[in-house]
Structure 1
Amino acid sequence: MGSQYHRGVTQTPGSTEHPVLVVDFGAQYAQLIARRVREAKVYSEIVPHTMPVEAMMAKKPAAIILSGGPSSVYAPGAPSVDPALFDQGVPVMGICYGFQAMAAALGGRVAHTGVREYGGTAVDVCEAGVLLAGSAQSQMTWMSHGDAVHDAPDGFVVLATSPGSPVAAFEDADRKLFGMQWHPEVKHSQGGQAALENFLYHGAGLAPTWTADNVVAAQMELIREQVGSDQVICGLSGGVDSSVAAALVQRAIGDQLTCVFVDHGLLREGEAEQVEVDFVQSTGVHLKVIDAREQFLNALAGVTDPETKRKIIGREFIRAFEGAAREIVADAGDKDGDVKWLVQGTLYPDVVESGGGEGAANIKSHHNVGGLPDDLQFQLIEPLRTLFKDEVRAVGVELGVPDEIVWRQPFPGPGLGIRIIGEVTAERLAILRQADAIAREELTRAGLDREIWQCPVVLLADVRSVGVQGDGRTYGHPIVLRPVSSEDAMTADWSRLPYDVLSVISTRITNEVRDVNRVVLDVTSKPPGTIEWE
């Protein structure tokens, strides 16, 4: 028999102990599953399918969800599930590929049906059980599969069927094992969130305790324990993430915190003033401003590779913070003291995309994760590291951070440096800064700030196109508008902005910004494209 430690285990409110593990089989929706679990107020983490059962159990999971994936369970080299996972006494739910892999591992039969089901698919519920309690007898779901479970494993009850899935859902409630062929995490699946919550609340016996106020309380306790009486600095950019991180740490340790704002010259128009006035006035935090514009531009001279840019920017941030720490100690008259701790507004998507999630692919190095130098002299405090963006906003509201900061559109730490495709120069920054200001002004005037997630404005500095301006031929740069809608930046779709707003933005940019003669619109979703171009 396997371990039965799960009995009696519950999540502590606001803590990351006993997570629900989402095992990623390469699904585009793995992050979305984790998000939906958190929407049910239960903490979740993503782990790779290659993680051994023993390592999963070391995390003391409250439950496990097997995600979908692109493979066929019987194809050579296809990811499989170790049958030992189902003997650990931990509730498990399989979704799509995870459902099929679960069935195969437990002795069920998976095969081609000859009927593929993609998109909206009608499902008939023949037995509600625990998983589908409260479901409609016939419901529309979202599917994406060519294989199907033909026979459920011994001891399982078939809950639902569809034209292409003889077994579309099953459960063994006594063993706390559940599965479904469709994607409950997708909004198009009728009753999908209810099915996930049935698994979490009734199948796994978890309570909905992962809330913003509990997160704040748990993090404050952890920060005080970490820091003791030490001095702490926080890298403040004025964005949502660093502002909420600063407010949380200040709530925990008060005057032990000094925020450091590095003006690296890669900011948008008016941002330095926003940080120095709005945030300080609303929080009363002690702020030290570092003018590092020349330092960053010199370090970026001649650099065009995006990963190299991010790493340089990350390195120079740390060098600037180290210099600020020395000045803070000197100002305090403590010749022998030092600052040991650096607060960063790192989020869970930063960690996942930088390859910092266990086994995650490195999509791009975020300056505060993969871009940190090896000789870092600080210990990091990252109170938001386990959170998605909307969860950070909820924490900000709980802390009383002003709405104009909490609901500000995301802006990357590397700033305009990764929105210039090509070398970063003072001249190019001036062009992009002006174009960005026009786009933001018109979006605000149209009342669209809350309708879109963000709108990166990109300068294709190494590209020129022919234009006609003032009855003459021009050879100028294109500007790209990238308006996107998203819940947490893990996935996104392009925002359908009104044509008249796009027209005004285009006209103003080409009329008012020198060396720009063309404005184009990026209509790519994520995936396949990331939100930022670099």
Structure 2
Amino acid sequence: MTDRILILDFGSQVTQLIARRVRESGVYCEIFPFNTDPQRITDFAPKAVILSGGPASVTGSDTPRAPQQVFDLGVPILGICYGQQTLCAQLGGEVEGSDHQEFGKAFVEMQADCSLTEGIWATGEKHQVWMSHGDRVVRLPEGFKVYGTSEGAPFAVVADEARQIYAVQFHPEVMHTPDGAKLLANFTHKVAGCSGDWTMAAFRQQAVEAIRKQVGDARVICGLSGGVDSSVAAVLIHEAIGEQLTCIFVDHGLLRLNEAEEVVEVFRHHYNIPLVHRNAKDLFLGKLAGVEDPERKRKIIGGTFIDVFEEEAAKIGGADFLAQGTLYPDVIESVSFTGGPSVTIKSHHNVGGLPERMDMQLVEPLRELFKDEVRDLGRELGLPERLVGRHPFPGPGLAIRIPGAVTSEQADILRKADAVYLDAIRKAGLYDAIWQAFAVLLPVKTVGVMGDARSYDYVCALRAVTSTDGMTAESYPFDHEFLAGAATRIINEVRGINRVVYDVTSKPPGTIEWE
């Protein structure tokens, strides 16, 4: 990728949103911690640099600063919130704590036109932005001029047009700044001169070349879960190296209805990818028998998965590389902006711990992509929409949607109820509006009346949430008619359930999953 934007992270909670907005405009970017090795910045060769917001105060001692390398590169710079403040302080301006803090909606009035706002905001106009700051710039560095002000920030938009250095006190990356994405696109396209030609088609071609270069003629195995990430990684790697890839799909008996058959059909028959399908239902459910603690259940499933995967890998003669569906948020979250490890993989990965035991190198072709970009890549590769657009599904599967001990009978009941619920959501045209939806089988039985006879069956809880990243979530506001209809279908079509409830808990204080 010839056009690259570097985002230096000062610890903001929304730094990832800057990257999302830049990529949405067709420009490739990456996030580095502010204290990254200066040589790494040089090697990245960005066409421009964006300095993020952050929780620290520029007025404090030992607070983050941008490396001098950023100013020595001679490329355009955009400072956002804390990024504006440290930029101005480092270039000779002055920042102080303000007695007029701004948190939330504010309005910027444009005093003059500049390249950052050209064609979007005109002189004399007022526009809504999102502020979140206590400190503020009180004196600009030499060469800078004020272009926009707000009630609490006399230097809301400033720039040194000659050096192409721009800074804003507000956050253009959040949706509460309606024109924010346009302002960022002005910076990347008009100021930095990026072409905006970074597409999934381009990424696909570059990724295929990179995989071939990394792997050579060696063998690769991929732990296929049936989820979006591992599926897209497998198809991409197969396009690059063909028969050198073998996928291992372990069915632990806790998958969604017909999921195993769908995975086998797509990968073995549609894509003709070498696939080992291990039916280990009895093994997993046997080890889970009588186990109620959710953390123990997770550890049993994870440990058994590793054992089975290792066993199947040995049968095919092993491999030199292990493929994983690591995504960019995983990589970012493994890096502390105060100086943590740079490539630690989060423990929730399906095959966490496997590389050490099996002495294999990792192939992670998706580690530069966000989730929605992975879905786009899946479509580019021709994966069916039903697989590409499916909701997240936990590695332990239905085991953590059956609070308490798990039996084969309970798993079958829940599998059917979940399928009916998701079918109702799809038929209502709501599936894509929901981040995640699923059924939970509660360890509670209640009395009911079915067919003029007494019943004593399980309670099923329904869960559906909206979210952008899974870190926070709100329950989906179904209307009562939908919920009543879904409940009726589940009770009529799934033997073993006679009562249905809906979970309206947000995250926090709850979690999305029940265990």
Q: For this structure pair, what is the TM-score category when the shorter chain's length is used for normalisation? A: 0.7 to 0.9
Tell me the equivalent position of 1:342: 322
Tell me, yes or no, if the aligned pair for 1:113 and 1:165 is still in contact at 8 Å. Answer: no
Greater shift after overlay, 189-198 or 172-181? 172-181
CA distance in 2: counterparts of 1:209 and 1:340, whole angstroms? 34
CA distance in 1: counterparts of 2:438 and 2:345, whole angstroms? 18
State the 1:215 CA deviation.
Answer: 0.8
- Which residue of the other structure, out of 345, 366, 371, is the alignment partner of 1:384? 366
Deviations 1:319-349 (A, max 9, x none): 33332233334xxxxxxxx422232222223
- Which residue of the other structure, out of 225, 231, 234, is the alignment partner of 1:243? 231
Deviations 1:240-269 (A, max 9, x none): 222222221221122232322210122112
Greater shift after overlay, 235-244 or 68-77? 68-77
Tell me the equivalent position of 2:81: 96
Greater shift after overlay, 400-409 or 313-322? 313-322
Tell me, yes or no, if the aligned pair for 1:38 and 1:44 is still in contact at 8 Å. Answer: yes
State the 1:150 CA deviation.
Answer: 2.4
Deviations 1:287-346 (A, max 9, x none): 22111223434555647354x6556544443433332233334xxxxxxxx422232222
- Which residue of the other structure, out of 152, 161, 166, is the alignment partner of 2:140? 152
Q: Secondary structure at the match of 2:166?
A: strand
Q: Secondary structure at the match of 1:140?
A: strand
State the 1:125 CA deviation.
Answer: 1.5
Tell me, yes or no, if the aligned pair for 2:172 and 2:181 is still in contact at 8 Å. Answer: yes
Q: State the AA in 2 paired with 1:498.
A: D
State the 1:210 CA deviation.
Answer: 1.9
Q: 1:212 to 1:49 in 2, by over 3 A?
A: same
Unaligned runs of 5+ in 1: 1-10, 14-18, 330-337
- What TM-score, normalized by structure 2, do the two folds share? 0.85
State the 1:272 CA deviation.
Answer: 1.1
- What TM-score, normalized by structure 1, do the two folds share? 0.82
- Which residue of the other structure, out of 275, 278, 301, is the alignment partner of 1:290? 278
Q: State the AA in 1 paired with 2:390.
A: R
Tell me, yes or no, if the aligned pair for 1:318 and 1:372 is still in contact at 8 Å. Answer: yes
State the 1:529 CA deviation.
Answer: 6.7
Q: State the AA in 1 paired with 2:359.
A: Q
Q: State the AA in 2 paired with 1:479.
A: A
- Which residue of the other structure, out of 128, 131, 143, is the alignment partner of 2:116? 131
Q: State the AA in 2 paired with 1:324.
A: E
Q: State the AA in 1 paired with 2:367.
A: R
Q: 1:76 to 1:156 in 2, by over 3 A?
A: same
Q: State the AA in 2 paired with 1:440.
A: L
Tell me the equivalent position of 2:310: 322
- Which residue of the other structure, out of 314, 326, 331, is the alignment partner of 1:351? 331
Tell me the equivalent position of 1:22: 7
Mapping of residues 42-81 of structure 1, within 5 Å: 42-51=27-36, 53-75=38-60, 78-81=63-66
CA distance in 2: counterparts of 1:370 and 1:48, whole angstroms? 25
CA distance in 2: counterparts of 1:475 and 1:75, whole angstroms? 62
Greater shift after overlay, 401-410 or 353-362? 353-362
Tell me the equivalent position of 1:482: 464
CA distance in 1: counterparts of 2:436 and 2:298, whole angstroms? 20
Tell me, yes or no, if the aligned pair for 1:482 and 1:523 is still in contact at 8 Å. Answer: no
How many residue pairs match? The answer is 505
State the 1:61 CA deviation.
Answer: 3.8
- In the alignment, is residue 116 of structure 1 matched against residue 101 of structure 2? yes
Q: Secondary structure at the match of 2:437?
A: coil
Unaligned runs of 5+ in 2: none
Tell me the equivalent position of 2:2: 12
Greater shift after overlay, 348-357 or 95-104? 348-357
CA distance in 1: counterparts of 2:309 and 2:164, whole angstroms? 50
Tell me, yes or no, if the aligned pair for 1:83 and 1:106 is still in contact at 8 Å. Answer: no
Tell me, yes or no, if the aligned pair for 1:451 and 1:485 is still in contact at 8 Å. Answer: no
Q: Percent identity?
A: 47
Tell me, yes or no, if the aligned pair for 2:49 and 2:78 is still in contact at 8 Å. Answer: yes
Mapping of residues 211-230 of structure 1, within 5 Å: 211-230=199-218
State the 1:220 CA deviation.
Answer: 0.9
RMSD of aligned C-alpha atoms? 3.5
Tell me the equivalent position of 1:409: 391
